[in-house]
């Protein structure tokens, strides 16, 4: 009898934990009339329409110009420099793309102005240089790369700059739930998305609890994202499946590298962030 009571208690605990787990992933439901107008009408070129074999580096003005002129939206990454400039680059450290072994947050505009991308003549761009390329054309998917607890300053600076472009279509995403929390509180009009992946596969300096909560997007109940952007290779993970099936979340997948994969995802009413081909 005691054994059965223990089993019942354990079952109840498991049920409560399962419910809390699912509730933690709560997102906004996908709008019934499509994904926020023009934002849902485009594929998004990952870091612009780049091809280093053709001399077009990722996250360069040329790559973004090509994306906009060819009818694609573009995904881009925003860091903040030491002197507060909004810098477009994927990695926190600039070694891979510029050859200089320094973090963006540790350098000033004076240093950045001397750098070029991947052995080309393309300069490191700033967000204010990219935004005009897309006004009246295609949308932007803007990823905010917060570092050293600068999420508030970074998000405020980006959203203040975006106010200067009322005719620009855009949305903001981040791996950092604090960015989405700030947007929910201060700029709920901006479409926001939670980026994620299986952090247990990633070499980042995160403890096991951080990996668990970020992999499963268990801060969604606080941030209520409009969409989820999950790593394509991790598409069979539990969390994105639950978000889509239970909460009706709009899914983005990154990075899609073939038309066959794109076609399969579009049949599932998902949106794609692509690279290495011109998605149709």
CA distance 278 to 43: 9
**Are 87 and 79 in contact, with CB atoms under 8 Å apart?**
yes
At residue 4, the pLDDT reads: 78
Strand pairing of 271-274 and 140-144?
unpaired
CA torsion 68-94-152-176 (nearest 10°) is 80
Q: 19 lies in a domain?
A: no
Task: Give the pLDDT band (50/70/90) at residue 79.
Answer: very high
> The pTM is what?
0.95
135 C-beta neighbours (distance < 10 Å), count:
14
Residue 143: partners with Cβ closer than 8 Å, 6 or more residues away:
75, 76, 77, 78, 172, 173, 174, 195
> DSSP states of 107-165 as a string?
--HHHHTT-BSTTSSPBPPBHHHHHHHHTTS--EEEEE---TT-HHHHHHHHHHHHTT-
Number of domains in the chain: 1
Task: Give the pLDDT band (50/70/90) at residue 7.
Answer: confident
Task: Give the pLDDT band (50/70/90) at residue 9.
Answer: confident
Residues 123-179 have pLDDT tens digits of: 999 999 999 999 999 999 999 999 999 999 999 999 999 999 999 999 999 999 999
At residue 204, the pLDDT reads: 75
Q: 146 lies in a domain?
A: yes
What average pLDDT does range 47-66 have in this prediction? Answer: 97
Residues 21-43 have pLDDT tens digits of: 999 999 999 998 889 999 999 99
**Are 155 and 145 in contact, with CB atoms under 8 Å apart?**
no
**Are 228 and 27 in contact, with CB atoms under 8 Å apart?**
yes
Q: 13 lies in a domain?
A: no
Tell me the CATH number at 141: 3.20.20.190
CA distance 17 to 193: 25
Lowest average pLDDT, out of 25-34, 202-211, 264-273, goes to: 202-211
Residue 135: partners with Cβ closer than 8 Å, 6 or more residues away:
165, 167, 168
At residue 12, the pLDDT reads: 86
Range(s) of the domain holding residue 269: 42-88+125-274
Q: 252 lies in a domain?
A: yes
The DSSP element (H or E) to which 255 belongs, if any, is strand 250-256
**Are 192 and 226 in contact, with CB atoms under 8 Å apart?**
yes
Q: 28 lies in a domain?
A: no
What is residue 93's DSSP assignment? Answer: B
Q: 3 lies in a domain?
A: no
At residue 280, the pLDDT reads: 85
Q: 37 lies in a domain?
A: no
Query: Is the pLDDT confidence value at 221 over 80?
Result: yes
CA distance 161 to 78: 12
Query: Is the pLDDT confidence value at 69 over 90?
Result: yes
Q: 137 lies in a domain?
A: yes
At residue 124, the pLDDT reads: 98
What average pLDDT does range 251-277 have in this prediction? Answer: 97
At residue 203, the pLDDT reads: 74
């Amino acid at each position: 009898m005691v054994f059965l009571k223990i089993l019942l208690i354990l079952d109840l605990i498991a049920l409560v934990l399962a419910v809390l787990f699912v509730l933690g992933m709560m997102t906004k439901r996908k709008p019934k009339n499509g994904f926020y107008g023009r934002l849902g009408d485009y594929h998004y070129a990952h870091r612009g329409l780049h091809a280093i074999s053709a001399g077009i580096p990722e996250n360069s003005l040329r790559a973004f110009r090509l994306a906009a002129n060819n009818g694609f939206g573009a995904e881009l990454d925003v860091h903040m420099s030491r002197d507060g400039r909004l810098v477009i680059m994927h990695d926190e450290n600039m070694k891979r793309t510029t050859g200089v072994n320094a973090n963006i947050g540790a350098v000033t505009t004076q240093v950045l102005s001397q750098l070029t991308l991947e052995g080309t003549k393309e300069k490191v761009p700033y967000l204010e240089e990219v935004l005009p390329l897309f006004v009246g054309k295609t949308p932007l998917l803007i990823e905010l790369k917060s570092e050293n607890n600068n999420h508030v300053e970074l998000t405020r600076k980006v959203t203040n700059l975006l106010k200067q472009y009322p005719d620009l279509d855009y949305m903001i995403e981040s791996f950092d739930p604090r960015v989405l929390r700030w947007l929910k509180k201060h700029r709920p009009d901006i479409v926001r998305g939670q980026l994620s992946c299986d952090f247990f596969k990633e070499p980042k300096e995160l403890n096991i609890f951080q990996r668990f909560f970020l992999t499963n997007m268990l801060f969604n109940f606080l941030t209520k994202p409009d969409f989820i952007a999950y790593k394509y290779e991790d598409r069979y993970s539990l969390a994105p499946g639950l978000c889509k099936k239970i909460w009706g979340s709009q899914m983005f997948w990154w990075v899609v590298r073939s038309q066959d994969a794109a076609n399969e995802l579009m049949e599932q009413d998902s949106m794609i962030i692509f690279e290495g081909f011109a998605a149709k």
